[in-house]
Amino acid sequence: MISIFQNYGGTLLYGLGQTLLCSLIALVLSLIIGTFFALLEESPSKIARGIARVYIEIFRNIPLLVITMFFFVVFPLYVVKMNGFTAGTIGLTLYTSSFIAETVRAGIKSVDPGQMEGARANGLSFWQSMRYIVLPQAFRYVIPPLGNQFVNLVKNSSTLAFVGGFDLMYQGNVIASSSLQTIAAYSAIGVLYLIITLPISYYMRYLEKRLA
Name the site residues for other proteins (rule: CB under 8 A): 57-58, 60-66, 69-70, 73-74, 77-78, 151, 155-159, 161-162, 169, 172-173, 176, 182-183, 186, 189-190, 193-194, 197-198, 201-202
Q: Is 111 left (phi over 0), alpha (psi -120 to 50) or beta?
A: beta
- How far is the C-alpha of 212 from the C-alpha of 60, rounded, in Å? 27
Rounded least distance, CB 104 to other proteins, Å? 18
Map residue 111 onto helix, strand or coil: coil
Identity of the residue, 129 or 144, whose beta carbon is nearer to other proteins in the bound complex? 144
Rounded least distance, CB 173 to other proteins, Å? 7
CA distances from 27 to 33, 37, 100, 195 (A): 10, 15, 9, 18
Identity of the residue, 54 or 121, whose beta carbon is nearer to other proteins in the bound complex? 54
Identity of the residue, 53 or 120, whose beta carbon is nearer to other proteins in the bound complex? 53
Q: What is the largest CA-CA distance in the chain?
A: 69
- How far is the C-alpha of 142 from the C-alpha of 103, rounded, in Å? 7
Rounded least distance, CB 45 to other proteins, Å? 23
Identity of the residue, 63 or 136, whose beta carbon is nearer to other proteins in the bound complex? 63
